[in-house]
């Protein structure tokens, strides 16, 4: 195949017809010629975030400790923005705080405490490492049985995978809504309902979903969820993660870490812990205001664009990538590592090849940033607000060129 099989015109037409095209101008430009297809690992900075961080620097310098009057409630304020604009949750159900990993631990521990008679926890074998490691640690600490779900590596976990592990001993299920390797979307409402009928709680990891696919946590009956803000929400490196606790569960569950930011009358500095009502009772310690500030800018931009429009472009970008894959890459050695059905696929496309590691670094050397996941996956992350169809074309063209020289 030659490069003429990748007509520039088609990519340009798709870009010209893209209703979100103008949003690319709301992000800090990349170096000229860079094709950034890794927004699913670290989203690009919004211009608003960079401006607000600079302004925050000035506030810090001028206001010092007095700034906290304004900063103190940011975890729940930004949580409310996220709840309304991205998660399909109610005000007071989401806090933006701490890391995803710490939030997995906290919500999983609280869920296990709420099911004291049950001694098993289920998690998918191909689940994101940090979730598995945290659950392994909790299982060791509490002497629990781990039930590994043999979810398909491409199609992700299904109700059929869950069925065999459901019984009266199962306390908790931990799953990603969009799988980090293949981008498979799990049927969150069906899995949540099935687990709940068996008396178990489900903790959803939304790290690859938030800002890329529609979420309706309330409508789906989700009780517990966590996720990060630095992928499709463009919050920046180390920006705080979020946690969602359904309103009706907030008092029933007990947070395992009793920090002073969860204390009802925080500044009375009283002798005993008395937990604040609502989502504030799930905070721990001093929140990271710089990260919250940039995360808020990203979340607001996602809400402004609208998650339905973002989803439509995510489908169009990944469909286009697969169209190019079929035309140019469906050769011996390559395999598609993502679901073909757009309804079951998030916003990245996995391409598998035995030389994936080397190809990923060769692509980077030529200005195309994708990422490698063991053992043979290249992830092409197509962030709907920042990725153009022409970048998809350029990225795939470079891969075709590299493969022809292997
Ligand atoms: C990115 C990601 C995380 C990240 O966890 P951190 O604590 O923010 O490092 C967790 N889970 C999933 C599924 C992810 O994709």
Quote the tokens at residue 18.
């893209």
Of the listed ranges 6-20, 48-62, 79-93, the least confidently predicted one is: 6-20
Query: What residues act catalytically?
Result: 128, 205, 230-231, 379
Ligand 1 atom with least separation from CA of 103: 7
Ligand 1 atom with least separation from CA of 41: 1
How many angstroms separate the alpha carbon of residue 130 from the centre of ligand 1? 7
Rounded to the nearest 5 degrees, what angle is found at the Cα of 209, between the Cα atoms of 365 and 339? 70
Pocket of ligand 1 (CB under 6 A): 99-101, 128, 130-131, 176, 180, 205, 207-208, 228, 241
How many angstroms separate the alpha carbon of residue 128 from the centre of ligand 1? 7
Euclidean distance between CA atoms 174 and 125, whole angstroms: 11
User: 50: part of which helix (H) or strand (E)?
Assistant: helix 47-63
Residue 208 has pLDDT above 70, yes or no: yes
Euclidean distance between CA atoms 79 and 148, whole angstroms: 32
Q: Which residues are 373's β-sheet partners? A: 377
Give the residue whose CA is nearest to atom 10 of ligand 1. Answer: 100
Ligand 1 atom with least separation from CA of 100: 7
Give the residue whose CA is nearest to atom 15 of ligand 1. Answer: 207
Residue 3 has pLDDT above 50, yes or no: no
Question: Which contacts (CB < 8 Å, 24+ apart) does range 2-11 have?
Answer: 3/397, 3/400, 3/401, 5/327, 5/328, 6/324, 6/327, 6/328, 6/393, 6/396, 6/397, 6/400, 8/390, 8/393, 10/393, 11/320, 11/388, 11/389, 11/390, 11/392, 11/393
Residue 336 has pLDDT above 90, yes or no: yes
Give the residue whose CA is nearest to atom 2 of ligand 1. Answer: 207
How many angstroms separate the alpha carbon of residue 326 from the centre of ligand 1? 31
Euclidean distance between CA atoms 318 and 316, whole angstroms: 6
Its pTM stands at 0.97
What mean pLDDT is predicted for residues 313-331? Answer: 96
Give the residue whose CA is nearest to atom 8 of ligand 1. Answer: 100
Ligand 1 atom with least separation from CA of 208: 15
Residue 186 has pLDDT above 70, yes or no: yes
Residue 2 has pLDDT above 70, yes or no: no
- Residue (of 201, 220, 198) closest to 209 by Cα position: 220
Instruction: Evaluate whether 223 touches 93 at the Cβ level (below 8 Å).
Output: no
Instruction: Evaluate whether 382 touches 348 at the Cβ level (below 8 Å).
Output: yes
What mean pLDDT is predicted for residues 331-357? Answer: 97
Give the residue whose CA is nearest to atom 1 of ligand 1. Answer: 207
Cis omega (within 30 of 0) for bond into 375:
yes
The DSSP result for 298-334, as a single string, is HHHHHHHH-HHHHHHHHHHHHHHHHHHIIIII-STT-
Q: Over the stretch 20-43, which tens digit does the pLDDT of each residue have?
A: 999 999 999 999 999 999 999 999
How many angstroms separate the alpha carbon of residue 47 from the centre of ligand 1? 24
Band of residue 331 on the pLDDT scale cut at 50, 70, 90: confident
Give the residue whose CA is nearest to atom 4 of ligand 1. Answer: 100
Ligand 1 atom with least separation from CA of 101: 7
- Which of 40, 96, 101 for mutating ligand 1's site (highest number of atoms within 8 Å of CB)? 101
How many angstroms separate the alpha carbon of residue 68 from the centre of ligand 1? 28
Length of the chain: 406
How many angstroms separate the alpha carbon of residue 175 from the centre of ligand 1? 12
The dihedral sign for the CA sequence 220, 221, 227, 233: positive
Quote the tokens at residue 170.
């199962």
Residue 157 contacts by C-beta under 8 Å, 6 or more apart in sequence?
124, 149, 151, 175, 179, 186, 191
Euclidean distance between CA atoms 192 and 220, whole angstroms: 8
**For a pLDDT cut of 70, what percent of the chain falls above it?**
99
Q: What mean pLDDT value characterizes the chain?
A: 97
**For a pLDDT cut of 90, what percent of the chain falls above it?**
97
How many angstroms separate the alpha carbon of residue 402 from the centre of ligand 1? 31
Residue 406 has pLDDT above 90, yes or no: no
What mean pLDDT is predicted for residues 93-111? Answer: 98
Instruction: Evaluate whether 313 touches 123 at the Cβ level (below 8 Å).
Output: no
CATH architecture of the domain 3-44+306-403 equals: Alpha-Beta Complex (3.90)
For the chain, domain boundaries? 3-44+306-403, 72-304
Residue 4 has pLDDT above 50, yes or no: no
For residue 63, what are the CA distances in angstroms to 53, 80, 287? 15, 26, 17
- Which of 128, 181, 373 for mutating ligand 1's site (highest number of atoms within 8 Å of CB)? 128
Q: Over the stretch 43-59, which tens digit does the pLDDT of each residue have?
A: 999 999 999 999 999 99
Instruction: Evaluate whether 353 touches 334 at the Cβ level (below 8 Å).
Output: yes
Residue 377 has pLDDT above 80, yes or no: yes
CATH 3.40.630.30 matches 72-304: no
Q: Residue 5's pLDDT is what?
A: 53
Give the residue whose CA is nearest to atom 6 of ligand 1. Answer: 100
Ligand 1 atom with least separation from CA of 176: 13
Longest dimension (CA), the chain: 74
Q: What is the dihedral of CA 3, 44, 83, 285, to 10 degrees?
A: 140
Q: Residue 244's pLDDT is what?
A: 98
Q: Over the stretch 221-279, which tens digit does the pLDDT of each residue have?
A: 999 999 999 999 999 999 999 999 999 999 899 999 999 999 999 999 999 999 999 99
Quote the tokens at residue 15.
């870009």
Give the residue whose CA is nearest to atom 5 of ligand 1. Answer: 100
3-state helix, strand, coil in the chain (%, to 5): 45, 15, 40
How many angstroms separate the alpha carbon of residue 112 from the centre of ligand 1? 21
Q: Residue 7's pLDDT is what?
A: 84
């Amino acid at each position: 195949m030659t490069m003429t099989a990748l007509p520039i015109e088609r990519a340009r037409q798709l870009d010209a017809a893209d209703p979100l095209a103008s949003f690319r101008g709301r992000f800090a430009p990349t170096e000229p010629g860079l094709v950034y297809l890794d927004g699913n690992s670290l989203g690009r900075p919004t211009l608003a975030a960079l401006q607000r961080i600079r302004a925050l620097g000035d506030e810090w310098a001028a206001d010092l400790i007095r700034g906290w009057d304004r900063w103190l409630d940011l975890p729940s304020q930004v949580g409310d923005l996220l709840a309304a604009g991205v998660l399909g949750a109610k005000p007071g159900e989401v806090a933006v705080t701490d890391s995803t990993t710490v939030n997995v631990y906290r919500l999983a521990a609280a869920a296990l405490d709420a099911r004291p008679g049950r001694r098993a926890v289920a998690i998918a074998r191909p689940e994101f490492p940090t979730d598995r490691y945290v659950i392994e640690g909790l299982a060791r600490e509490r002497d629990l049985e781990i039930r590994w779900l043999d979810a398909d590596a491409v199609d992700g976990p299904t109700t059929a995978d869950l069925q065999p592990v459901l019984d009266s001993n199962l306390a908790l299920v931990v799953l990603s809504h969009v799988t980090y390797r293949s981008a498979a979307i799990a049927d969150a409402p069906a899995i949540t309902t099935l687990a709940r009928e068996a008396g178990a709680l489900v903790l959803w990891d939304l790290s690859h979903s938030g800002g890329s696919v529609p979420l309706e946590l309330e409508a789906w009956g989700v009780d517990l969820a966590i996720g990060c803000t630095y992928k499709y929400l463009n919050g920046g490196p180390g920006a705080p993660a979020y946690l969602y606790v359904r309103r009706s569960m907030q008092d029933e569950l007990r947070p395992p870490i009793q920090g002073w930011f969860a204390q009802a009358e925080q500044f009375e500095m009283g002798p005993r812990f008395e937990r604040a009502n609502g989502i504030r009772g799930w905070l721990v310690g001093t929140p990271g205001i710089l990260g919250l500030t940039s995360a808020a800018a990203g979340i607001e931009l996602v809400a402004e664009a609208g998650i339905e429009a973002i989803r439509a472009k995510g489908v169009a970008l990944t469909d286009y990538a697969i169209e190019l894959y079929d035309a140019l890459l469906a050769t011996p050695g390559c395999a598609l590592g993502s679901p073909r059905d757009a309804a079951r696929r998030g916003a990245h496309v996995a391409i598998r090849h035995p030389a994936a590691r080397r190809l990923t670094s060769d692509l980077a050397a030529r200005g195309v940033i994708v990422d490698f996941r063991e053992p043979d996956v290249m992830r092409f992350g197509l962030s709907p607000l920042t990725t153009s169809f022409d970048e998809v074309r350029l990225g795939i063209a470079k891969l075709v060129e590299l493969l022809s020289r292997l």
